[in-house]
Amino acid sequence: MSSDSIPENQNLILLGCGSVSVDLLATVAAYPEPDEKIRSTSFKVEGGGNAANALTCAARLGLKPRLISKVADDTHGRAIIDELQADGVDTSFLVVSKEGASPFTYIIVDSQTKSRTCINTPGFPELLPAELPEPTLLSALSGARIVFLDGRLHETALVVAHEAVRKNIPILMDAERLREGLDDLIQLVDYLICATNFPQVWTGATTIPKALVSMILRLPKVKFVIVTLGKDGCIMLERSADEGPSAEEVDVDRLLESLEMKRNRSTHIPTCISSPVMKLQAEGTGTVCGRLYVGTAENIPQSELIDTTGAGDAFAGAVLYAICANFSREKMLHFAATVAAAKCRALGARSGLPHHKDPRLGSFMQ
């Protein structure tokens, strides 16, 4: 594996801790009613799991990811390992259990409505922190530029995160929903990506912009919080350390509205609009000094839109790359939207993930 875009001497190592799985994708002519007996029209097996997907994306883009997770020594487990290795993800930190079963997800793909119904069968036994002895953890973190967490395996993830903090290795977390242990983990992260509903669910704020302000106020270390909105792109709030005496104070909801107005709706490619550094006020919550960004998603023609499963993981993988490559925030959001859109043009969480030489990434990879 080589990278044309990050200089060789720059640190490419990324450590991820989270879920890994196998997806069994069964395409059907129509979603079955209960008690129906139908046939799939096509079938495909592909790796899955948020952390494993994001790391696969990062590996294809040119990073050198290592994954901490657990599988069983069964067919699914062996397939998971083979596929990760083929993509350049270091699996030497995966715990392989002699007993139990590897996790898998059966995905019913409706070829008409394009719905994706997922039934996950968890793996067992679960990963325990004791299965990751300190020397192994230190070895896994050695030389790492960044740590990625998907909120799963929270006990082990917390051990990894504390050690990363001690070593000044920044942490990016992708927060999909409220999970056990998430409140402890989230305090330690430097960069946060959230699913659409997460900021309001976690903070109780009435709008997404207010929730983002609340998160910046509540999370001492966090540099930015991104909320992904599917086809509506994303919103990012970045904390500014230095507010400057002249920073204007604005209502964060109004600011979002004004940025939305500036969106270029005539282009199909992702764009990014940002505010200057301002004092962003969220009524009833407080004020933070920062910049608000609005990123648009690529407008994918319906005929090319195959599958959005894993698009969030692709977005996270691209953000990991962008941080390592020191992309500007605008370029990062534009890049992540481009990578996520490439993924959506193929069936499965990983099939569409672009390689770093993909011509669609040309302008980013110079």
Distance CA(192)–CA(222), nearest Å, equals 7
Comparison of 47 and 290: residue with beta carbon closer to a copy of itself: 47
Comparison of 104 and 327: residue with beta carbon closer to a copy of itself: 104
Distance CA(231)–CA(312), nearest Å, equals 11
Q: In angstroms, give the least distance from the CB of 106 to a copy of itself.
A: 5
Site residues for a copy of itself, window 78-117 (CB under 8 A)? 101, 106, 108, 110, 113, 115-117
Find out whether 169 and 72 touch, Cβ atoms under 8 Å.
Answer: no
Comparison of 39 and 98: residue with beta carbon closer to a copy of itself: 39
Q: In angstroms, give the least distance from the CB of 37 to a copy of itself.
A: 4
Distance CA(107)–CA(103), nearest Å, equals 13
Find out whether 339 and 318 touch, Cβ atoms under 8 Å.
Answer: yes
Comparison of 1 and 38: residue with beta carbon closer to a copy of itself: 38
Among 4, 10, 29, 75, binds a copy of itself (CB under 8 A): 75
List residues bridging with 106 in a β-sheet.
24, 119
Comparison of 21 and 296: residue with beta carbon closer to a copy of itself: 21
Comparison of 11 and 27: residue with beta carbon closer to a copy of itself: 27
Q: In angstroms, give the least distance from the CB of 40 to a copy of itself.
A: 5
Among 5, 11, 111, 121, binds a copy of itself (CB under 8 A): 121
Single out the residue of 78, 18, 84 nearest to residue 56, CA to CA. Answer: 84
Q: In angstroms, give the least distance from the CB of 194 to a copy of itself.
A: 17
Find out whether 259 and 209 touch, Cβ atoms under 8 Å.
Answer: no
Angle at 335 between CA 331 and CA 339, to 5 degrees: 175
Among 5, 11, 111, 120, binds a copy of itself (CB under 8 A): 120
Q: DSSP character for 6? A: S
Among 1, 29, 86, 118, binds a copy of itself (CB under 8 A): 118
Query: What one-letter code names the amino acid at 330?
Result: E
Q: In angstroms, give the least distance from the CB of 260 to a copy of itself.
A: 26
List residues bridging with 72 in a β-sheet.
97
Comparison of 27 and 258: residue with beta carbon closer to a copy of itself: 27
Site residues for a copy of itself, window 308-347 (CB under 8 A)? none
Distance CA(154)–CA(17), nearest Å, equals 9
Find out whether 133 and 107 touch, Cβ atoms under 8 Å.
Answer: no
Q: In angstroms, give the least distance from the CB of 308 to a copy of itself.
A: 10
Residue 25-64 contact track with a copy of itself, rule CB under 8 A, x = bound: -x-x--xxxxxxxxxx--x---------------------
Comparison of 31 and 93: residue with beta carbon closer to a copy of itself: 31
Distance CA(105)–CA(196), nearest Å, equals 22
Q: In angstroms, give the least distance from the CB of 236 to a copy of itself.
A: 25
Q: In angstroms, give the least distance from the CB of 120 to a copy of itself.
A: 5
Counting residues that bind a copy of itself (by CB under 8 A) gives 28
Please list, in sequence order, all residues whose beta carbon lies within 8 angstroms of the beta carbon of residue 330, skipping any fewer than 6 positions away.
Answer: 272, 274, 293
Q: Is 8 in the site for a copy of itself (CB under 8 A)?
A: no
Q: In angstroms, give the least distance from the CB of 116 to a copy of itself.
A: 6
Strands 146-149 and 171-175 come out as: parallel
Distance CA(62)–CA(263), nearest Å, equals 31
Side-chain half-sphere CA neighbours of 155 within 13 A: 7
Distance CA(363)–CA(245), nearest Å, equals 37
Q: In angstroms, give the least distance from the CB of 90 to a copy of itself.
A: 26
Q: Is 122 in the site for a copy of itself (CB under 8 A)?
A: yes
Distance CA(287)–CA(170), nearest Å, equals 25
Backbone angles phi, psi at 82, to 5 degrees: -60, -45
Residues that bind a copy of itself (CB under 8 A): 24, 26, 28, 31-40, 43, 75, 101, 106, 108, 110, 113, 115-122
